[in-house]
A and B are shown apart, each in its own frame.
Chain A
Amino acid sequence: MIYQYKNNGYNIVLDVNSGSVHVVDDVVYDVIPLFEEKSKEEIYDGLKDRYKEEEIKEAIEEVEELKKEEMLFTEDVYKDYVLDFKKRKTVVKALCLHIAHDCNLACKYCFAEEGEYHGRRALMSFEVGKKALDFLIENSGNRRNLEVDFFGGEPLMNWEVVKQLVEYGRSKEKEYNKNFRFTLTTNGVLLNDEIMEFLNKEMSNVVLSLDGRKEVNDLMRPFRNGKGSYDLIVPKFQEFAKKRGQKDYYIRGTFTRNNLDFSKDVMEFADLGFKRMSIEPVVASEEESYAIQKEDIPRICEEYDKLAKEYIKRRKEGRGFEFFHFMIDLEQGPCVAKRLSGCGSGTEYLAVTPWGDLYPCHQFVGEEKFLLGNVEEGITNTDMRDEFKLCNVYAKEKCKDCFARFYCSGGCAANSYKFHHSITDAYDIGCELERKRVECAIMIKAALAEE
């Protein structure tokens, strides 16, 4: 499968099955769609008005060579491979610990309903957290790197337990030959010097929630009394990022229909001095006034183009930043097994509620149908787990002809369920935006490769 597109003056050709990425001139760009369908004579005839005969000849030769090298028109040989891969016994390698089902903000788009996840407010006890870590160690097989994300609600509302669990995890590392990678996602309200110091010592990544410009952030991320959170949080995040040496963190925002000009919010992050950032489209039911609608897609795509150009410009000026969705590792990226098998929700990755219940991921928490078990007994709903185990790119009809399938790995199961009541479907708006981000990310590679 070939996918070709033009962006920012670059002609880009993706050979989807090999993962090869080519930047080509106009003549090759026009030869490629004809190459498998037409004879050489027909290609000459079709293009002779636009290019010299010699150019067309050279282009055909180069395309032939790339095909021989399995870098163009390669076959998809992975389907059986991924099925074999999926037959293997799965291990659990990552937990999202819902350390606090409570929050000190009242963000309007919160999928967790202001931290409460369709249930009651609760904090995870050390005992439950400890059992969760024991469960992870026991079920992780030979996997050495184990990931634990402290998530909420707002995890700093249960800070003592976070500290205790980190200490507990560390105390088990040697005995079991494991390496815990702790991460934490916070709104920053409770950040202070002591917490920052601890997080900088122990967390391999922190995600700091902020939506961008003050008016944008404060509209959607107010305190429970309605007051905006920007003024309190921004100085804390700035100090924190500085103390972390601008490494291993993301400022992470959500954009909604209220700020389709979200590239300005990313620029706000950059202008505030942040170096690592992400902004995600809100996922919300279409009746919400802030939900992204289908008709917003062209506007959002333009905004990604704008962001990509600014990203390149600032990079070239020596004041660049990282944007999560533009980071694509073309050389040392993930293996094909990882790319095909999805995010691992329900198998490798589980969410744990304050009571110790296990769900396929944080987004399914509170949807009783998806309750998988608990930290005492482990996975008891094995049918549901197996459904997630089979959830890969080849199980999804919509991925079959999509060029981005090896970049997004089939998309988010929770979003698919939310919009189509099936985990093997796909959330269409999310797909459109993901494709656009991949296009931009690859264009950026092309632009930076010119330097």
Chain B
Amino acid sequence: MKHVKTLNNKTLKETMKKGGCGECQTSCQSACKTSCTVGNQSCENK
């Protein structure tokens, strides 16, 4: 595309297919302990 650069290909909807295994890290255990930041966790079920 000439006017648009898309930074990611995978969409959230696709993750409905095999998501929800729950093996990923609990967000508050990582560093914050006060704010909920989930977007930066990694999926363990790639």
Contacts and interface: CB of A to CB of B under 8 A. Distances in A.
- Do they bind each other? yes
A283 interface: yes
A351 B43 CA distance: 24
Interface in A218-267: 250, 252
Contacts of B13: 17-18, 70, 74, 77, 336
Contacts of B35: 280-281, 408, 411-412, 415, 430, 433-434
Interface of A: 17-25, 27-28, 55, 58-59, 62, 65-66, 70-71, 74, 77-78, 81, 85, 91, 93-94, 96, 143-145, 147, 149, 181, 183, 185, 205, 207, 250, 252, 278, 280-281, 283, 324-325, 327-339, 342-345, 348-349, 361-363, 406-412, 415, 430, 433-434, 437-438, 441-442, 445-446, 449
B12 to A, nearest CB: 4
B34 to A, nearest CB: 5
Contacts of B19: 335-338
A334 B26 contact: no
Counting chain B residues whose Cβ lies within 8 A of the other chain, the interface size class is 35 or more
Contact of B4 (A28, A149, A449): A28
A351 B21 CA distance: 22
A22 B11 contact: no
Interface in B1-46: 1-13, 15-16, 18-20, 22-46
Contacts of B23: 143-145
A336 B34 contact: no
Contacts of A345: 28
B contacts with A: majority SS: loop
Nearest to B11: A18
Contacts of A96: 28-29
A328 B37 CA distance: 10
11 contacts: A20-B8, A24-B4, A27-B3, A58-B3, A71-B11, A81-B16, A250-B30, A333-B39, A343-B36, A441-B39, A442-B7
- 4 tightest A-B contacts by CB? A335-B19, A407-B39, A337-B20, A335-B15
A107 to B, nearest CB: 13
Query: Chain A binding site: helix, strand, loop or mixed by DSSP?
Result: mixed
B5 to A, nearest CB: 5
Contacts of B12: 17-19, 78, 335-336, 339, 406
B10 A407 contact: no
Given A21-B8, A71-B11, A339-B12, A408 B28 contact: no
Contacts of A407: 37-39
Contact of A363 (B15, B34, B45): B34
A325 B42 contact: no
Contacts of A412: 34-36
Contact of B5 (A23, A59, A252): A23
A63 B29 CA distance: 40
B44 to A, nearest CB: 7
Contacts of A144: 23
A338 B38 contact: yes
B7 A449 contact: yes
Nearest to A209: B33
Given A22-B4, A205-B30, A362-B28, 12 more contacts: A18-B12, A22-B6, A58-B3, A252-B32, A324-B40, A331-B10, A335-B12, A337-B19, A343-B26, A415-B35, A434-B35, A449-B5
